[in-house]
Structures are given as C-alpha cells and as structure tokens.
C-alpha cells in the first residue's frame, strides 16, 4: 500500500471523529446553557435525531454495497458526506438570533437531522472502504492503527482545542459559533482529502456476489454470530461511554466549577494516552489475541470510570489526570480492537456466507454506535430533568441544586463502569470459526505504529 492511503485513512477518521465528538460533547450543553432550552426538550430533540440517524445507517450500507461509479464504490460518498458534514457543523452552532420558541425548536431539529444525514453519508462508506483498500493482514493491521491516530487527532480538535478556544472567546453563544466555523472548515477539507487519497482495489467487486435484497441481507446478518457478539459488546460499552461523555462538560462546569480550559485539558490527556497506547495494544493483540485484548480494554474502562467517582470535588487535581490517563489508554484498546475485529467479521461474511456485505456490516456497526449515543443522552437528560437542572442563556446557570450534582456524579462514573463490566463479559463469547487464527494473530511487520506525517 502507498503511504498516501494510510494518510487518507487517518484523515477520514479525523473527519468523522471531529464531527461526532464536537457535537456529542458541546451541543447538548450549548442548547441548555446558551439557547435556554429545557434539558428535557433538548435531550428529546437530540435523541429523535439519533434514532433517525441510526435507522438510516443500514440503508446507507445497502446503497453503498450496490453503488458502482467510475470513482469507486464508496469513495464518492466521502466527498459528498464530508462537505455536507462541514456545513452542518456551522449551522448547528450558529443559530440566528431573535427566533421565537417554535422557530427555534424547528431550526435546532432540522439542523440535527442535517448533521445526522451527513455523518451517515460519510461514516458508513468510510468504514466499508477499509476492506476494499487491502486484504493483506499486516497492511490492514497498520491501517487500523492509523484510524486510531486520525480519530485521536479529530477528538483532540473537538474535545480539547475547541474548549481551549471557547475559554478564550467566551463559552457563550457567539463563542460556540466561531469555534464551529473553524471545525466546519477542517471537516469539509478532511472529506475532500480522504476522497482524493483513498483508492479502492478494483477486484474487490468480484470477490463475492453482491448482497441480495434488503430483508435477505438482514436475515443473513443475524446468522453472523461473531459480528453479533461484537455488536453486543459495543452496544453495552458505548451506552455507558455515551452517558459518561455527555456528563463530562456538565461535570466540569457545575460540579468542579472550572472553566472550559480544564475540560480541554481532560480530553487532551485522554487523547494523548489513546495515541501513545497503540503500541501496547498491538502487542497485546499479537500475544493474547484480538478478542482477549479487547476484553482487557473493556475491563480497564471499568476501572477508569470507577476512579472518576473517587475524585474529590474540592481538590480534583491530580487524581483527575489519573482517571483521564486510564480512560485514554482503555479507549485506545477499545477502538483499535473494534476496527480490526470488524474487518475480521466482514471477511467471515464473505468467506462463509459467500456475499459481500461490507457496507451493511459497517451500517449496523455505526447504527449501534448512534443508538447507544441516543440512549446515553436520553439517560443523562432524564436524570438531569428529574433532579431539577436549571437551564439558562449565555454561559449557564451560576448554581445547580445538590441533586443535580449527585446525578452528574452517577452518570459520569457509576453507570459507565457497570456497562464496561457487562460488555467485557459479553465479549468473552466471541469466536471466529473456520479460521486457523481463531485468537492469536501475528504482530505487524512494523515494530511500532507510525504516526501520520504531513507530505
């Protein structure tokens, strides 16, 4: 594989991570603390958009499996989806002033649907493209490390650089709008670059017959037991993760009473450890097997979330950095493991079931991701509504009831820790039949992951 393919793959991962991380971290708080929407309403609008988003994922995968153009099977969607994603980012956080209540609800709802459509259009073809780029084991393993590097950089831009910039501009309505303009431009350029740098192997279209009808494809997916087990792990773990990530910006503002500079620092530490841990996780997968490495990463997530519950709110530093470091290390193992095991289940579908369902598998993979995100936001917003959260305009209410602070602590630590334990138990049932490399795999030829370097 050419180095440009690795770089293009990392850029594609950056694009989707920057989009979903920025919206996931900042938009709910923006609606409640800057637009003045009640948290129950803001949560409902977000959940409805997430459900729509999740429902369209398998459809996008089905369409991708049946697409044939001179630019490739999946590549055209990277360009269209990336441009639309950049536009949606700008519109989400640049809400026209002077709107009435009904018009504001309508605007927020429509822009959330636009964002959901754009993310689906980009993310599903991007994941399906992974198998179409190469089928060589070592190249694919290295490719997936680049995916983690790219997503880490995208997450850093959205969850660290953006809060740092917000702290300087002011974490109000205007500041969010300016930050969204910067992120939107970066996302659109990322879509263009991914389209230009990634190429599909032409023979991939002839490797297996294309998937049949939509209902027949769904039926076949239900018999792909390794994939179902992977989805069970992801569904439970990501439900807890979604609750945790939704709670963090409220945790820093309303429990710790610190600026968004601290929020950016938290995610900077997590992102740094996510990248630095890649060599560790590749070696663990080589020695103990991909499944076992993923189970260990899930268990480490449970430990990290538990430490969040032990942080004293009066003097959170430096224990909060320990929790951040463990969370970042565990996330590095989870994301690397998920991507590599997903391509294994795609190969299993082609080899055992005899059909090319990469697009549909990617669609369901992301559908679960979005479904759990909707669930996490619903759980958090419901708990906040029950405990009496006070919405505001500008930069949020000065003080929240004690019940709100207790609810935030439960959602930032205890709920995600329990979910991580259950997910790890589920993943112990994962097996890949019909392969000599059921568990233990070879270490990639490179002795350590190579970081993305600009041309």
Reduce the secondary structure of the chain to three states and give it as a string: CCHHHHHHHHHHHHHHHHHHHHHHHHHHHHHHHCECCCHHHHHHHHHHHHHHHHHHHHHHHHHHHCCCECCECCHHHHHHHHHHHHHHHHHHHCCCCCCCHHHHHHHHHHHHHHHHHHHHHHHHHHHHHHHHHCCCHHHHHHHHHHHHHHHHHHHHHHHHHHHHHHHHHCCCHHHHHHHHHHHHHHHHHHHHHHHHHCCCCHHHHHCCEECCCHHHHHHHHCCCHHHHHHHHHHHHHHHHHHHHHHHHHHHHHHHCCCCHHHHHHHHHHHHHHHHHCHHHHHHHHHHHCHHHHHHHHHHHHHHHHHHHHCCCCCCCCCHHHHHHHHHHHHHHHHHHHHHHHHHHHHHHHHHHHCEECHHHHHHHHHHHHHHHHHHHHHHHHHHHHHHCCCCCECCCCCCCCHHHHHHHHHHHHHHHHHHHHHHHHHHCCCCCCCCCCCCCCCCCCCCCCCCCCCC
Residue 437 is assigned to a structural domain of this protein:
no
Alpha-carbon distance of 423 to 419, in angstroms, equals 6
CB 262 within 8 A of CB 252: yes
Residue 432 is assigned to a structural domain of this protein:
no
User: In this predicted model, what pLDDT tens digit does every residue of 356-402 receive, in sequence order?
Assistant: 566 677 777 777 877 888 888 899 999 999 999 888 766 555 678 88
Bridge partners (DSSP) listed for residue 69: 72
Residue with more model confidence, 44 or 225: 44
Alpha-carbon distance of 28 to 330, in angstroms, equals 25
Mean pLDDT of 40-62: 88
**What pLDDT does 129 receive?**
81
Q: What is the CATH number of the domain that holds 338?
A: 1.20.1250.20
Rounded to 5 degrees, what are φ and ψ at 162?
-65, -50
To the nearest 10 degrees (0 to 180), the angle between helices 173-197 and 75-93 is 170
298 pLDDT band, cuts 50/70/90, is: very high
Bridge partners (DSSP) listed for residue 238: none
452 pLDDT band, cuts 50/70/90, is: very low
Mean pLDDT of 315-336: 89
Mean pLDDT of 195-208: 64
Residue 43 is assigned to a structural domain of this protein:
yes
**What pLDDT does 441 receive?**
36
Share of the chain above pLDDT 90, in %: 38
**What pLDDT does 84 receive?**
97
355 pLDDT band, cuts 50/70/90, is: low
Domains held by the chain: number = 1
Residue with more model confidence, 131 or 332: 332
Residue with more model confidence, 339 or 241: 241
For the chain, first and last CA: distance in Å? 16
**What pLDDT does 359 receive?**
67
Give Cβ neighbours of residue 379 (< 8 Å, ≥ 6 apart). 239, 243, 411, 415
pTM over 0.75: no
132 pLDDT band, cuts 50/70/90, is: low
Residue 23 is assigned to a structural domain of this protein:
yes
Residue 205 is assigned to a structural domain of this protein:
no
Query: Token pair 């430096």 is at which residue?
Result: 318
User: In this predicted model, what pLDDT tens digit does every residue of 157-188 receive, in sequence order?
Assistant: 988 899 999 888 888 899 999 999 999 999 99
Range of the domain at 346: 3-199+213-427
Residue 448 is assigned to a structural domain of this protein:
no
**What pLDDT does 134 receive?**
65
438 pLDDT band, cuts 50/70/90, is: very low
CB 396 within 8 A of CB 217: no
Residue 433 is assigned to a structural domain of this protein:
no
CB 249 within 8 A of CB 399: no
CB 268 within 8 A of CB 401: no
**What pLDDT does 402 receive?**
86
Judge whether residue 451 has pLDDT over 70.
no
Residue 451 is assigned to a structural domain of this protein:
no
């Amino acid at each position: 594989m050419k180095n440009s393919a690795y770089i293009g793959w990392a850029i594609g991962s950056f694009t989707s991570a920057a989009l979903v991380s920025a919206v996931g971290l900042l938009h709910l708080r923006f609606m409640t603390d800057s637009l003045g929407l009640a948290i129950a309403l803001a949560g409902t609008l977000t959940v409805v958009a997430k459900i729509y988003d999740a429902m369209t994922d398998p459809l996008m995968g089905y369409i991708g499996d049946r697409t044939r153009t001179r630019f490739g099977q999946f590549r055209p969607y990277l360009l269209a989806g990336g441009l639309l994603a950049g536009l949606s980012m700008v519109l989400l956080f640049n809400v026209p002033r002077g709107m009435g209540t009904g018009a504001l609800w309508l605007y927020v709802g429509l822009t959330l649907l636009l964002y959901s459509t754009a993310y689906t259009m980009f993310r599903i073809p991007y994941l399906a493209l992974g198998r179409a780029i190469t089928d060589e084991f070592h190249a694919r393993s290295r490719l997936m490390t680049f995916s983690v590097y790219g997503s880490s950089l995208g997450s850093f831009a959205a969850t660290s650089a953006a809060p740092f910039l917000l702290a300087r501009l002011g974490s109000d309505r205007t500041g969010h709008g300016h930050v969204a303009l910067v992120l939107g431009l970066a996302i659109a350029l990322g879509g263009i670059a991914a389209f230009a740098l990634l190429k599909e192997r032409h023979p991939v279209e002839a490797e297996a017959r294309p998937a049949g009808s939509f209902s027949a494809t769904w039926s076949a997916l239900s018999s792909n037991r390794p994939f179902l087990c992977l989805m069970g792990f992801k569904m439970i773990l990501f439900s807890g993760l979604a609750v945790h990530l939704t709670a963090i910006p409220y945790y820093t503002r309303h429990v710790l009473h610190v600026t968004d500079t601290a929020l950016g620092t938290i995610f900077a530490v997590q992102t740094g450890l996510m990248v630095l841990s890649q060599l560790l996780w590749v070696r663990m997968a080589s020695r103990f097997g991909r499944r076992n490495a993923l189970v260990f990463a899930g268990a480490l997530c449970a430990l990290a979330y538990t430490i969040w519950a032990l942080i004293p709110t009066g003097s959170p530093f430096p224990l909060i950095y320990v929790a951040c470091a463990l969370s970042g290390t565990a996330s590095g193992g989870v994301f690397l493991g998920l991507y590599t095991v997903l391509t294994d289940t795609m190969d299993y579908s082609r080899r055992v079931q005899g059909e090319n369902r990469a697009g549909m598998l990617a669609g369901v993979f992301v559908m679960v991701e979005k479904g759990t995100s909707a669930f996490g936001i619903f759980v958090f917003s419901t708990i906040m509504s029950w405990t009496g959260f006070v919405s505001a305009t500008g930069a949020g209410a000065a003080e929240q009831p004690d019940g709100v602070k207790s609810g935030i602590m439960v959602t930032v630590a205890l709920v995600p820790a329990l979910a991580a334990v259950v997910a790890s138990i589920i993943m112990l049932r994962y097996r890949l039949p019909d392969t000599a490399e059921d568990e233990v795999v070879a270490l990639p030829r490179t002795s350590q992951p190579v970081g993305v370097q600009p041309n």
